[in-house]
Amino acid sequence: MAAAASSARRSARTSQPPLPLAEEQAAAVLSQLEQRDIAAALRLSLHDSWNSDEEKSDAASEAEADSSSSEEEKENQPPAAAQHAEEWTSDVKNVEIPLPRLRPVQQAAPIADTPFTLLQRFLSPALMEEFAAHTNAAAPHDWRPTTAAELYAFIGVHLFMGIDRLPRTHMYWSETFGHSLITSLFSRDRFMQLLRFFRVAAADENAPARNPMPHVRALAEKLNALFAANFKPSDHLTLDEAMAAYKGRSPIKQYIPSKPHKWGYKIWCLCSEDYLLHFEVYEGKEDDPSDAGATVDTVLRMTAAYQHQERILYTDNWFTSPTLLHALAQRGIRFCGAVRSNRRGMPVIPVADIRGLQRGEWTQRQKGDTAVAVWRDRKVMWVLYNHCSPTETASLNRWNDAGRKVSIGCPRAVRDYFYHARSVDVFSQLHYTYLIGRKARRAWPRLAWWLLDACILNTFQLWSIGQHRPSQLRFREELMHELLKQLPSELTPRKRGAGLHPAHSLASEHCSVHADDERDCAVCSRQPDQRKRTRFKCAVCNAHLCLGHCFASYHS
């Protein structure tokens, strides 16, 4: 009996030798085309039988119409309800998934488009003029009004500070750590004034002091529209949360221990190919969630613009559930995501079957076109999906105990999840590599600088199209220099209190003129033996002086 049970458990597991990626993709496409031809031939053969069925007598038709209403209701159930009515089975069968339609390829930016011109798609001169108006309104009346050009240079200085980071802002103007690139553009006092009064939205006197959203909500709405309008997403979408690090006091600050930056503002992000398409700042628990739950409501709200377009959404186990998969399927979005085994509606798989899996082995359960794959690498991973057939296999390169990369087999859904579910994480890594913005006690500046850096990162993704291994550092350097050039020369700092150069003073103000009377030279008369009289005097000092040495000696 034990041997029979062991053999039964082994039959439920699947282990496939890894295939090259190009071969398995070609085989998958060929298999789908063959299945499509077979289905077309089957529909054609059944067409004649359907025509013969229509020739039945009216009595037979009425007899069929008088069948039990329960059977009729079961046939008229929607696909999601029918899937819930089915049971999970270990007998995995092939599922025909429609091939996604061909989409236009994202075109590379023209050569004439520099990083600055690409950035102006999001931070246009008109938007920067709005920033300048809000900043001037928040500043005192006796300060010099700022302009859009000065704010462009202000952001460029923050790019420099993100690359060459110092712990205190005033250190960039110190004798030890100061940099001539910064000191030649902004005086320390002017930069600190801009840092204090900089605003991205109109001031709201009634807004709570520690709630950042009233100060950035208008900018967030504009950027959401601009991000979606300037990029053509691929078939693969990724939904995850990002963190804008902040440790001050705020009612919407969150703590996520699994994140590198545990304290801050949680932001739902929808990305495609590392480009931010849509975001939403988490402001707390929803008051009236639907029956499906607040998590499902968030996902449906974030993906509203991409429904019924044959997209594939990838999420982590925080979002993934059978309920979410069926809700997205009704809206024309395929799904693939890591899932927790205790989610409602998940199949029950014996623990002994999971523990018996070796590395590179897996077991699956299927219900309709939905499947769950339990795959073992170093740990066990659960994946819920309906974007591909559960019979498709692939391979992944993983590290073995000897520190070498080896290729191990896996379901195709696992491989797709590893390749496409990390766009939001890449976006966050790029953000924290050269972090812009300075520390502040107020709650909203950190979130505002996150939004401005999102514009820079999306500009980087547009600039990177068609390039081999683009460098974010080189991109930020080019963008920084272009932003700093926007500052007019008349706004560059000048030292206060410094008089004219002595040579300039002698030439323009102190000059010799002919006097009406003759008097003793003010220099020569100091020594009785060298006393001389002269008819020339200084026009400013009104002192009689000999031309030449006496005039220069007196003014030195």
DSSP 239-289: EEEEEEE--S--TTEEE-TTSSS-EEEEEEEEEETTEEEEEEE--S--SS-
What's the pLDDT band for 528 if we cut at 50, 70, 90?
A: low
Neighbours of 351 (CB within 10 A): 9
Q: Read off the pLDDT of residues 362-373 as tens digits, 9 standing for 90 and up.
A: 999 999 999 999
What's the pLDDT band for 108 if we cut at 50, 70, 90?
A: confident
Put simply, whether the predicted model's pTM sits higher than 0.85 gets the answer no
The arithmetic mean of pLDDT across residues 407-420, rounded, is: 94
Q: Read off the pLDDT of residues 193-212 as tens digits, 9 standing for 90 and up.
A: 999 999 999 877 777 878 89
The arithmetic mean of pLDDT across residues 430-458, rounded, is: 94
Find out whether 354 and 369 touch, Cβ atoms under 8 Å.
no
What lies within 8 Å, CB to CB, of 20 at 6+ separation is none
Q: Read off the pLDDT of residues 231-290 as tens digits, 9 standing for 90 and up.
A: 999 999 999 999 999 999 999 999 999 899 999 999 999 999 999 999 999 999 888 888
Buried b or exposed e, range 66-75, using 16+ CB within 10 angstroms: eeeeeeeeee
What's the pLDDT band for 82 if we cut at 50, 70, 90?
A: very low
What pLDDT, on a 0 to 100 scale, did the predictor assign at position 253?
94
What pLDDT, on a 0 to 100 scale, did the predictor assign at position 26?
53
More confident site: 427 or 103? 427
What pLDDT, on a 0 to 100 scale, did the predictor assign at position 35?
62
